[in-house]
Structures are given as structure tokens and as C-alpha cells.
Amino acid sequence: MATKKKSNVEEFEYRAEMQQLLHLIIHSLYTHQEIFLRELISNASDALNKIRFRMLTDKDVLDADTDLKIQINLDEKKRTISVEDTGIGMTKEDLINEIGTVAHSGTLDFLQRVQEEKAAVDANLIGQFGVGFYSVFMVTDEITIETRHADKDAEGYRWQSAEGKYTIEEIDKKTRGTQISFKLRDDAKEFAEENRIKQIIKKYSNFVDFPIYVGKEQVNRVTALWQLAKSELRDEELTEFYKFLTNDFNPPLTHLHLSIEGSVNFKALLFIPETAPPQFYREDQEKTVQLYSNKIFIQDDAKELLPEYLRFMKGVVDTEDLPLNVSREWTQNSPVLVKIKNVLTGKILGFLDELAKNQPEKYKKFYRNFGPLFKMGVNSDFTNKDKILHLLRFETTKSEDGELVSLKDYVAGMQKDQKEIFYLSGDDKETVKRNPNLEYFRKNDYEVLLLTEPVDVFVVPSIFEYEKKKLVSIDKADINLKEDEKAKEEALNENLKKSLLEVFKETLGDKVEDVIESKRLVDSPATLVSGKEAMDKQMEKMMKAMNQDFTGSKKILEINTSHKLIKNLSRLNIGDGKDPLLRQSILQIYEGALLIDGNLNSPTGFVSRMTEIMEKATE
């Protein structure tokens, strides 16, 4: 241990959220105590990566010739552990700012929810929510950190935890790097046993890039799996590597191994997770692939390597075409990375196509988890748009629950006289299937795509056509529908229809854009549809959710002139066009259509009017 210099010990209060975090860790995560070692080794590996990266361009650092490694020492009798690395080390500012903050904004919320609900904690979530260094408090009450930064003129520091606070003092530490040491509580004494520590390292940290020593024995396997031939890869190793890379406790759904030579040279080992990680759709919380140059780590989250819609892929890309002294800023505009990105994108899309053909159940699982993100490629990757369209899947009016249909299969099953691909959007499949706008299509056996994910309203209207078939929303007023001859015979004649439509328009006034006769209704008396230039109904709902002042466009009310209720209203109109019951019924029909659409703002008035109508009907 380094000696203390003659200097004052500074004392710092933990921030309020840190005290809260410590309390939650101790009382919520104790069932997964072994995680602490994974977190410490992960931090040590990060520090080693940083010094290795710096030394590519700057050899003027402290202990430039020191081996990059992680050393773990145990004393079973005293129940002590120390984890030491020869990484970049920390400054005093690092100790205050880095050690004393919560890694992710969602960490506290997650832990509080677990404690309130008294739920079992999935160990997978612990690493993903960024408990990090402070997981050590699951096994100890006090921690000591001794560190010295890689700058040659840097001072050494000792950080020590105490109840509700911590202290920092200057020390005479000769070597670069960080050592974390602590005494295990009695309920965690198993972690002072050498075999137990080795077991944890092999379980979580077997593929760390640097040797991990327990005493004098190297425990982990430092092997770049992506450099091996496909025939040399074993499923067990791939699963271990994936878990190490992602902190996921589940095996991957599938993997893609690439070795590319040509205009650009690289190797890649990529994985699709079995499930979407927590907070996956928060981009700032989720990392994608790691970038290496000749097995030298360059970047932890190389967003430049994949388009946004393929961000679900995890893994490693290693190229010999990048100079070792590349800066992280340079990678953002690197022509090499642009080439790699283009090749990777094509290979991944081809891989997904093969998965869909040969392992449809796996593809369905992938699509359920990552479909909302993947679909966004339609609007962003115009080069590969056709390939993406081929991979899209939808529920339809004819698909079984849980089954998904491709656009290709939809087109293959179209009616002989059908020239367009029909779709309808809504909150969920059951709600959409009850939409009255489907009645004509159901009666005539036309299949309709059911769009139930929020992203669909942004993506599908921009597809325009597939295999020369236009995509058409059946919520639109201008859709071309064949007239039903039988319904035409049962409908009101032209004079009665014209008169009743005028009364509808007069009664509703500026509540609607227009009132017209419907060709799409079979069993319902009326429905609301959008004008040719209007937004999709679901899009309008989303706009209203984001902006309370958003009003949306007026709708067109279509009425079914062969429906018994509409015929009854026509008789009332013949007797007296000002009949209060007629006018009340028209308002009720309109607000009923609003209710079905989920846009009725005043249900009180609707119910009150319904009561009045029933009172008159039962006099």
C-alpha cells in the first residue's frame, strides 16, 4: 500500500442521489452479490483500454513499459480482496466526479421501483442500469481506492468511503493505475475463496481483452473470437462472449460471422439479442458495436458502423484498414468506416432474409422485439429500401393471432380484381378489427394490413407502392370501392338521400368537412373518414398527445343509406326536418363515430343525449 503524504485529508458529502443509491443497492441487490466482481473488472478493462489507446500516439506516460493487466489478490482468513489494474488511473477530479455519480439516469428509478414492488431483481438488469462501481457495497461496508493517473506529473490519491461521505488524500503512489481494496462482510465471505472468484471470472469476464490474474494464475482467455474461422467457433464460446460483451444473461437469438476482403478488409462477429434490452429505445442508454483495429480496441460504441435502424446489433468489428493512431473524432468522417458500414448493412439485410426463409420462428421473434426500429429504415435508407420492404411483416385481417404476413405474401393472396394494398391503423389488433371501415373489405374478402405500432404511421404511408401496387389507407374518403348492387337497391332514393344529407350537414355544421353517402359500410349506420390531404387518424392522435393545442383536420362523415336507422331518420325528415329527435339522433350518430375513433372529448353530453332519446323512445 502506498504511503500517505503530509497533507490534509479532505472530506466530501455524498450527493443525495448517491446516498439513496447506496441504500437501494444494499437492500435490493443482495441476492446477486457476485455481480460486484464483474463491475470492477469491467471498470479496470475500460481503464486499460484508455491507456492502450492513448499510447498509440503518446508514449510519454508514466510506466510506459508496464504490462497491461488486472491483478486480484485474496486473503481468505482476513476476508480481504484487492482488484488492481495498470490502466490510465484517476485524477482527484475523476474521484470526485466519476466515482460520485450515478452512471445512468434510469438507475435510481429502476431500483426504487424494485424496492417498492418487492420484486425479484433480474441480474441482467443490474449491469445494464449502470450500478457499476457501487455494486461493491453489496459485499462490504468500506472501500479504499488508491490511484495515480498516467500523466508523469500526476499525484497519487487515496479515496476512502465512510458513512454518508468519503475522504480523499494525497499519497505517495509510485505506479500508474488503480487498486480497489476492501474487507468482505461476514455474509459475503465466500468471495474470499480463490475457486469462487475464478468461477465468477470465467462466468462473466472470460473474454476481457487483458489478462486477469488471481494470485499468480491467469484465469481468463484473452482470445479474439472474431479472428477465428467459422469452423473453429463453438456455440458455448459464442454465448459466453456475447454475455460478456452485453451483460445479457440470456444467450443471443443468433449471430453473424464475417470475414471480408476486397475494397475494404474487416472481420466482424455480430449478435442479435434474444430480447430487447431495457430502455432500448432510449438511444443514449444503448450501445451498439465495438470497433477494433488489428485487435486493438478503438471505440466502445461505434455508431458510425451501422445505420440507426440496425442499432439492435451487438458485437465487434475489427479492420486492418484503420491507422492505429486514429482519433475518435476522425472515425466520424472516415471513408473506411463508410465502406464498412455499406458492406455491413448489406450483409446484415441478407442475413435477415436468410433467417426469414430458413428459420421463420426466429425471425418472428426478432421482428417482435426490434421491428419498430427496423421499420425506420424505410424512411432513412433509400439505397436498401427494397430489401427492407421485403423484410417487413404485418398482422392482417386474415392472419391468425401472433402470425405476421410479408408484403410479398399479401400480394400473392390478392383478389384478381384488386389493384391496391389496403391498410388500416389503430391502437391494437382487436380495436382495429372492430372498425366499421373494414365492413366492405370483410364482406368482399379483401385482406387489410393492420398497423398497430406507433412507428407504422410514419413508415407505411411513405412506402407508396410495392410491386407496382399502391398502398392505400381505407380510412381515406377518396378510396375507390365498387358499388354493392344489392345495397344500392335497399338504399334511399336520390331525393330522400339528398334531403337527409342536407339535414345532416345543417345539424353538424362546421363539426365536419362534409357528409356523404358511404360505399364501405355494411352493418354500421355511419363512420368518420379522412379527406384526401388529411393526416392519418393515428398520426393525428400522436400529434395531439405531443401537443394539446393540436386540433387536427375535420373529418368526413359517411352514412349508410341502406341502414335501418338512417331510413328511420329519413322518415322523420319527411314528416318534419326540424324534428328535435331527428337532430338529436344525428348528433348522437356523429358522436358515436367519434367514440369509435377514440376522439370523443365530451362523453357526458353523449350519455345525456342518449338518455333523452331513450326516454322519448319509451314514452
d(C-alpha 619, C-alpha 615), whole Å: 6
Q: What are phi and psi of 171, to 5 degrees?
A: -135, 165
Q: 170 and 83: one domain?
A: yes
Q: 523 and 467: one domain?
A: no
How open is the CA angle 262-267-273, to the nearest 5 degrees?
A: 135
The closest alpha carbon to 240, from 259, 255, 260, belongs to: 255
Residue 292: beta bridge partners? 297, 318
- Distances from the Cα of 354 to the Cαs of 134, 363, 377, 405, in angstroms? 44, 9, 18, 16
DSSP 3-state of 10: strand
Domain that holds residue 144: 3-218
How open is the CA angle 82-84-85, to the nearest 5 degrees?
A: 165
The closest alpha carbon to 504, from 585, 431, 400, belongs to: 585
| Residue 372 placed within a domain | no
Check which CATH number belongs to the domain holding 193 and give it: 3.30.565.10
Q: Within 221-359, where are the H helices?
A: 235-246, 328-331, 335-358
DSSP 3-state of 575: helix
Q: 552 and 453: one domain?
A: no
d(C-alpha 380, C-alpha 383), whole Å: 9
How open is the CA angle 436-440-442, to the nearest 5 degrees?
A: 90
| Residue 381 placed within a domain | no
pLDDT at 252: 97
Q: 501 and 435: one domain?
A: no
- Considering the entire predicted model, what is its pTM? 0.74
pLDDT at 123: 44
- For 298, half-sphere exposure in the C-beta direction (CA atoms, 13 angstrom radius) is 29
d(C-alpha 531, C-alpha 331), whole Å: 48
Q: Give the per-residue SS3 of 354-384.
A: HHHHHCHHHHHHHHHHHHHHHCCHHHHCCCC
d(C-alpha 554, C-alpha 594), whole Å: 11
Write the single-letter amino acid at 466.
Y
Q: 63 and 203: one domain?
A: yes
Q: 305 and 432: one domain?
A: no
Residue 193: beta bridge partners? none
- How buried is residue 288: exposed, middle or buried, by Cβ count under 10 Å (0-12/13-18/19+)? buried
d(C-alpha 384, C-alpha 349), whole Å: 9
Q: 231 and 342: one domain?
A: yes
Q: 295 and 247: one domain?
A: yes
| Residue 445 placed within a domain | yes
d(C-alpha 412, C-alpha 48), whole Å: 56
- For 5, half-sphere exposure in the C-beta direction (CA atoms, 13 angstrom radius) is 14
Residue 82 CB coordination number (10 Å)? 16
d(C-alpha 181, C-alpha 144), whole Å: 5
Q: What are phi and psi of 159, to 5 degrees?
A: -110, 130
Q: 466 and 524: one domain?
A: no
The closest alpha carbon to 428, from 598, 254, 210, belongs to: 598
Q: 67 and 193: one domain?
A: yes
- Distances from the Cα of 415 to the Cαs of 55, 191, 239, 478, 556, in angstroms? 67, 68, 46, 20, 28
The last residue of a domain, from among 439, 473, 507: 473
Q: 232 and 211: one domain?
A: no
Write the single-letter amino acid at 400.
E
d(C-alpha 234, C-alpha 368), whole Å: 28
The last residue of a domain, from among 183, 218, 253: 218
pLDDT at 320: 86
Chunked mean pLDDT (size 10), the chain, 619 residues? 68 76 65 83 90 91 96 97 97 85 52 56 45 82 95 96 86 96 95 96 85 95 85 92 88 96 94 83 67 80 91 93 62 82 97 97 96 95 96 95 94 93 91 93 95 90 92 90 82 94 96 94 94 76 74 89 95 92 95 90 91 88
- Distances from the Cα of 456 to the Cαs of 380, 428, 473, in angstroms? 14, 12, 12
| Residue 165 placed within a domain | yes
d(C-alpha 256, C-alpha 606), whole Å: 57
Q: How many domains is the chain built from?
A: 4
| Residue 337 placed within a domain | yes
- Distances from the Cα of 179 to the Cαs of 83, 154, 268, 422, 500, in angstroms? 6, 16, 34, 64, 86
Check which CATH number belongs to the domain holding 447 and give it: 3.40.50.11260
| Residue 480 placed within a domain | no
d(C-alpha 293, C-alpha 323), whole Å: 7
285 near 104, Cβ under 8 Å?
yes
The last residue of a domain, from among 319, 342, 362: 362
52 near 61, Cβ under 8 Å?
no
Q: 510 and 547: one domain?
A: yes
412 near 418, Cβ under 8 Å?
no
| Residue 382 placed within a domain | no
| Residue 469 placed within a domain | yes
